[in-house]
Structure 1
Amino acid sequence: MKILLPVDGTELSLHETRFALQLLREGLKASFVLANVQEPATFYEIVTAQSPELIEGAAMEAGEDLMAPAARLLDEAGVPYEAAVVSGDPAQAMLELIEIHRCDMVVMGSRALGPIRRLLEGGSVSQRVVQGSSVPVLLVTPPAAD
């Protein structure tokens, strides 16, 4: 089984990674596609950049930095994974990664957005992935505050 594990460098994404590793400790046999989605460059950035390659390189480097803590957890556990940093709309990019990497499942976090914010943002990323995914999506809720 191949699992898409989108991460963004937050504590919640580390919580998701730990949860996914727990699934393996419980007997699931899987590898991962560790993914980070970067915002596309703004029109201003494109127009003022010395080189489009610089913008793309900075986005890839930022994505790799944000994936590093989760990658460290997977490395320490000896779990195989592929890494992917892409640019674009987060939900759409994840749906494309599912197809490109032939993932069987997605494990991702779910933040509780309020109704106004959800309306303004067009729905949460996790909600849009659940609705558009061709594979099961397991939503990991944030850990309870102590």
Structure 2
Amino acid sequence: MKILLPFDGSAAALEAVLMAIRLAADGLDTSVVLANVQEPASLYELMLTQDPQLIEQVSAAAGANTLKPAQALLGEAGVAFESEVATGDPAHTLVDILENYGCDMVVMGASGTSTLRSALLGSVSNELLHAAGVPVMIVKSFEDPTSEVEVQA
């Protein structure tokens, strides 16, 4: 089973990585598409740098750096994975990645935002839950959302 595993570096995203590892350890024939979606550059960033290529390079490097802790965990556990860093609207871009890689399932962390904030701003996990044509497992973080997570890569 090919699992799309969106990863933003949060505690909830780390819980999702651990869940995917548990699924593999429990005998599910698993490979993972580890994905990070960077927001497009703002008008301010474009005006400040005046070099869209530089912004793309920095964004790609930031995404690759964000994926390192998840890659280390998956590698240690012996779970096969591919990595993808993309730019765009997170929910729509994740649906595109899901389809491009032919993923059978999504395992992702819940941000833990309040119901009001989620209703007003929208939630990537909520949008993906409704837009994906495959099962979506949303993993809640057991960590205190205000604490920082430290993972050595």
> What's the TM-score once normalised by structure 2's chain length?
0.89
Could you tell me which amino acid in structure 2 is paired with residue 91 of structure 1? A
| Shift of residue 17, structure 1, vs aligned partner | 0.5
Match in the other structure for 1:140: 139
Could you tell me which amino acid in structure 1 is paired with residue 23 of structure 2? L
Identity %, equivalent residues: 44
Match in the other structure for 1:73: 73
SS in 1 for 2:4: strand
SS in 2 for 1:85: strand
| Shift of residue 144, structure 1, vs aligned partner | 5.8
1:1-146 to 2 correspondences below 5 Å: 1-121=1-121, 123-143=122-142
Name whichever of 131-140 and 9-18 sits farther off.
Answer: 9-18
Q: 1:111 to 1:51 in 2, by over 3 A?
A: closer
> What's the TM-score once normalised by structure 1's chain length?
0.93
Show CA shifts across 1:53-96 (max 9, x none). 11000000000111100000011112111100011111111111
SS in 1 for 2:13: helix
Structure 2's unaligned 5+ residue stretches are 145-153
In structure 1, distance between residues paired with 2:82 and 2:4 = 9
Structural RMSD (CA):
1.3
In structure 2, distance between residues paired with 1:16 and 1:33 = 13
Could you tell me which amino acid in structure 2 is paired with residue 9 of structure 1? G
Show CA shifts across 1:112-136 (max 9, x none). 3223211321x21111001000111
* Runs of 4+, deviation exceeding 6 Å: none
